[in-house]
Amino acid sequence: MAKIVVVTSGKGGVGKTTTSAAFASGLALRGYRTVVIDFDVGLRNLDLIMGCERRVVYDLVNVIQGEAKLQQALIRDKRCESLYVLPTSQTRDKDALTTEGVTAIMDELRKEFDYIVCDSPAGIESGALMALYHADEAIVVTNPEVSSVRDSDRILGILAARSRRAEQGEEPVKEHLLLTRYSPKRVEGGEMLSLEDVKELLHTPLLGVIPESEVILQASNQGIPAVHMDHSDVAEAYKDMVARFLGEERPLRFVQPVKVGFFKRLFGG
Amino acid sequence: MANPPASSAETGAPLRLSGGVFTLSILHLESADPRQLAQRITEERQRHPAAADFHRHAPIVLDLSAIPEEAPLALAEILQVLRAADWFPVGLRNAAPRHQALAQEQHLPILRGQERGIAPHSQPEASPVLAPIAQGSLLIDHPIRGGQRSYARGGDLICLAAVNAGAEIMADGNIHVYGPLRGRALAGVNGQEEARIFCANLEAELVSVAGLYRTLETNHPLWGQAAQIYSRDEQLHIIPLNL
Ligand SMILES: Nc1ncnc2c1ncn2[C@@H]1O[C@H](COP(=O)(O)OP(=O)(O)OP(=O)(O)O)[C@@H](O)[C@H]1O
Ligand SMILES: [Mg+2]
């Protein structure tokens, strides 16, 4: 039976779609049959980050409204055999999703896949609620700043109250914290919250820390999920995070400022 | 069979009727005068805005034990006053037979609480089913997140974890918080002036006892420290909690 994992945050622009793409790709690299679904109706970002935007014919909304079969809307990833993308519509609005429609899709996907990754829209309205409703586990993406931490706290509360598991009195959704866009140097300078600050404020088990890096921009411009950016910090950090999600132990990396060498300091780098 | 012949022609399924037990608040009517009731509600709400806020949109049972049988009862006007105050009257109890007839006109059910005895002014005991106050305290062992609210009705609220910014905890009695208190804490929301707030780490946005409240800034001398908050002489006091 598949596990459903929602990638959510409350606040916008913190790295949910970047993470959904990298995480789903990372699971597929490990051999798991994985599908990643874009719940951000009207904004359609995931297919761009996954580099499959030119192959979108049918989308989530078409399937829900009975205009296409689920198989017609699923796009196989060009890098990983076992990874599929279910894109969303750019022309409809958030109300196009219905609870029954989403439930039917989840039930069908559960039979075929090991992991179903749901890329949530920002906010706490119906789109975000739809994305988190079926979740078994949640990755709460947070940036090291007060407003992002506040919104993550809020979404954690909503997960505990409004998910299917909460409504049916089952075991609660398993929560994971992912700190992204982390810049140890700016933390040291006091411009950003530290990892310890965020952990203390949220009390949620840490799945990983993804450093701030311009590699993310290159990756998204080329439509390559960040785990595939070989030899980069972000690829390594996302691989660590996938490993921890699968129950392996990995030491935290990329949380100390990079020491600038003596010569580099002397001559400017 | 007890089932009514209610099966729908299309689905063939019988109408579902199931039992349920609900906790409802009871309003004890002090006089039969609707204007006096309106005035009392306004006064109370000004005195205890937090409690008022919590009871907004609550279903209410009207208890008539203080209203003598011969008193003329303008029930329609009284219901209007309650609805205007954002309450939903759902029934009457302890009504004299003449008043029960009025309730029927208004499509209000008579709920079985303590039945009115021969002495019309005897003090009614709270019925166990409809008691507005569930006895005992509320123990919370997980963080209370921004946007969440918890209310210990009729008792103390004890939180072993953090109360995060944007969260709100309320109790009719005392509040104890062993994690950092970063949200709002309101003790004695039904007017119990002797209620107190105890916390291991005071970083609250707002504290209140029996309707007196104040907000806090990071420059408060007890910020981040163990503190207790109580009310005396219409003033809120925040003092160190020496453990
Ligand atoms: N680790 C990182 N380092 C640098 N930039 C990043 C990092 N992660 C994400 N970004 C950038 O942040 C922006 C927002 O990322 P993304 O679209 O993944 O966020 P989102 O949470 O899905 O946003 P939305 O709420 O709009 O859906 C993008 O421009 C992305 O390139
Ligand atoms: Mg996104």
Give the ipTM. Answer: 0.76
A44 lines ligand 1 (CB under 6 A): no
Instruction: Identify the weakest region by mean pLDDT among A88-102, A125-139, B12-26, B227-241.
Output: B12-26
pLDDT band at A263 (very low <50, low <70, confident <90, very high): low
Contacts of A5 (CB under 8 A, 6+ apart): A23, A115, A116, A117, A118, A135, A136, A137, A138, A139
φ/ψ region of A146 (left if φ > 0, alpha if ψ in -120 to 50, else beta) reads alpha
The answer to pTM > 0.90 is no
Domain of residue B33, CATH code = 3.30.70.260
Q: What is the pLDDT of residues A112-165, one digit of tens each?
A: 999 999 999 999 999 999 999 999 999 999 999 999 999 999 999 999 999 999
For the annotated binding site of A, the residues are 11-18
CB of B109 within 8 Å of any CB in chain A? no
B155, B94: one domain? no
The CATH number linked to B236 is: 2.160.20.70
CA atoms within 13 A on the CB side of B136: 3
Residue nearest to ligand 1 atom 31, measured at CA:
A217
Q: What pLDDT does residue A147 have?
A: 96
Q: How much distance in Å is there from the Cα of A98 to the middle of ligand 2?
A: 20
DSSP annotation of A231 reads T
pLDDT of residue B123: 33
Domain-embedded: residue B37? yes
In a domain, B111, yes or no: no
Q: Which of B27, B19, B23 is nearest to B93 (CA)?
A: B27
Confirm if B165 and B205 have CB atoms less than 8 A apart: yes
Looking at the 3D structure of chain B, how many domains does it have?
2
| Angle at A235 (CA atoms; ends A207, A193), nearest 5 degrees | 50
pLDDT band at A262 (very low <50, low <70, confident <90, very high): low
Pocket test of ligand 1: the residue of A214, A216, A218, A222 to mutate, having most ligand atoms within 8 Å of its CB, is A216
| CB–CB contact B147 A154 (8 Å) | yes
**Closest by alpha carbon to B157, among B118, B198, B121?**
B198
Q: What is the amino acid identity at position A58?
A: Y
* Cβ neighbours for A230, distance < 8 A, ≥ 6 positions apart: none
* Domain identity same for B101 and B143: no
Centre of ligand 2 to C-alpha A194, Å, is 24
- The Cα A233–Cα A212 span in angstroms is 9
Chain A residues closer than 8 Å to B181 by CB: none
User: What pLDDT score was predicted for residue A121?
Assistant: 97
Rounded distance, CA B31 to CA A190, Å? Answer: 63
Measured between beta carbons, the chain B residues lying within 8 angstroms of A161 are 148
Query: What confidence score (pLDDT) does residue A211 get?
Result: 97
Candidates B206, B198, B190; CA nearest to B227 is B198
Q: Average the pLDDT over B180-187 and give the result.
A: 96
Atom of ligand 1 nearest to the CA of A217: 31
Residue A184's pLDDT is 93
Looking at chain B, the whole-number percentage of residues with pLDDT higher than 90 is 44
pLDDT at B10 over 80: no
Give how many domains chain A has, as a whole number: 1
Give the domain CATH number at A154.
Answer: 3.40.50.300
Confidence of residue B5 (pLDDT cuts 50, 70, 90): very low
CA nearest A236: which of A218, A258, A251? Answer: A251
Q: How many CB atoms lie within 10 A of CB B139?
A: 13
Mean pLDDT, residues A207-234: 97
Closest CA to B56 of B29, B21, B93, B25: B25
Nearest-Cα distance to chain A for B168, in Å, is 12
**Is B48 inside a domain boundary?**
yes
Mean pLDDT, residues B185-204? 95
Which pLDDT does position B78 carry in this prediction? 92
Q: Over the stretch A178-212, which tens digit does the pLDDT of each residue have?
A: 999 999 999 999 999 999 999 999 999 999 999 99
pLDDT, mean over chain A: 94
Segment B112-161, tens digit of pLDDT: 754 433 333 333 333 333 333 346 689 999 999 999 999 998 899 999 99
Tokens (6 digits) for B85: 């105050």
End-to-end CA distance of chain B: 65
Residue in this structure with the two tokens 């203390």, named with its chain if needed: A200
- The percentage of chain A sitting over the pLDDT mark of 70, rounded to a whole number, equals 96
Beta bridge partners, B180, equal B201
Q: Which residues of A are annotated as a binding site for ATP?
A: 11-18
Domain stop point among B81, B105, B129: B105
Q: What is the pLDDT at residue B121?
A: 33
Residue A141 alpha carbon, nearest atom of ligand 1 = 21
Strands A115-119, A34-38: parallel, antiparallel or unpaired by DSSP?
Answer: parallel
> Long-range contact list for B139-146, CB < 8 A, 24+ apart?
B142/A160, B143/A202, B143/A203, B143/B179, B144/A157, B144/B169, B144/B183, B145/A153, B145/A154, B145/A156, B145/A157, B145/A160, B146/A150, B146/A153, B146/A154, B146/A157, B146/B183
Cβ pairs bridging A and B (under 8 Å):
30
Give the ligand 1 atom nearest the CA of A234.
1
- The pLDDT assigned to B108 comes to 87
**Would you state the pLDDT for residue B116?**
39
pLDDT for A229 equals: 97
A8 CA distance to ligand 2 middle (Å): 9
Q: Ligand 1 centre from B215 Cα, in Å?
A: 36
- The answer to whether A27 and A138 have CB atoms below 8 angstroms apart is no
Q: How far is B5 from chain A (nearest CA, A)?
A: 31
Highest mean pLDDT among B14-23, B46-55, B64-73, B111-120: B64-73
pLDDT, position B58: 81
Question: Quick check: A154 and B146 CB within 8 A?
Answer: yes
CB A248 within 8 A of CB A216: no
What does the pLDDT read at residue B115? 41
Q: Which of A133-137, B46-50, B58-62, B194-198 has the lowest mean pLDDT?
A: B46-50
Q: Within a domain: residue B3? A: no
Residues A219, A22: contact at Cβ < 8 Å? no
3-state secondary structure of A233: helix
Residue B55 has pLDDT above 90, yes or no: no
Ligand 1: which atom is nearest the Cα of residue A180? 1
The answer to whether residue B10 is domain-embedded is no
Domain match, B100 and B143 both: no
Give the residue-averaged pLDDT of A14-21.
98
Lay out the sheet containing B88-93: strands in order across: B25-28, B59-63, B88-93
| Closest CA of chain B from A218, distance in Å | 36
CB contact under 8 A, A157 and B147: yes
A56: containing domain: 3-267
Spatial CB neighbours of A171, under 8 Å, sequence gap ≥ 6: A165
pLDDT reading at B6 higher than 60: no
Q: Which residues of A61-90 are buried (b: 16+ CB within 10 A; e: fewer)?
A: bbbbeeebebeebbbebeebebbbbbbbbb
Q: Is A221 in the pocket of ligand 1 (CB under 6 A)?
A: no
Give the pLDDT confidence score for residue B95 in this predicted structure: 85
Task: Out of B8-17, B62-71, B124-133, pick the least confident.
Answer: B124-133
Range of the structural domain that residue B52 is part of? 25-105
B155 — contact with chain A (CB < 8 Å)?
Answer: no
Locate the chain A residue with the closest alpha carbon to B183. A150
The reply to whether B166 touches chain A by the CB within 8 Å rule is: yes
Q: Can you give the pLDDT at residue A30?
A: 97
Name the minimum distance, in Å, from the CA of A80 to any CA of chain B: 38
**Do residues A198 and A144 lie in contact, with contact meaning Cβ atoms separated by under 8 Å?**
yes
Q: Taking residues A160-175, what's their average pLDDT?
A: 95
Do B215 and B151 belong together in one domain? Answer: yes
pLDDT the model gives residue B240 = 96
Contact A52, A100 (CB under 8 A): no
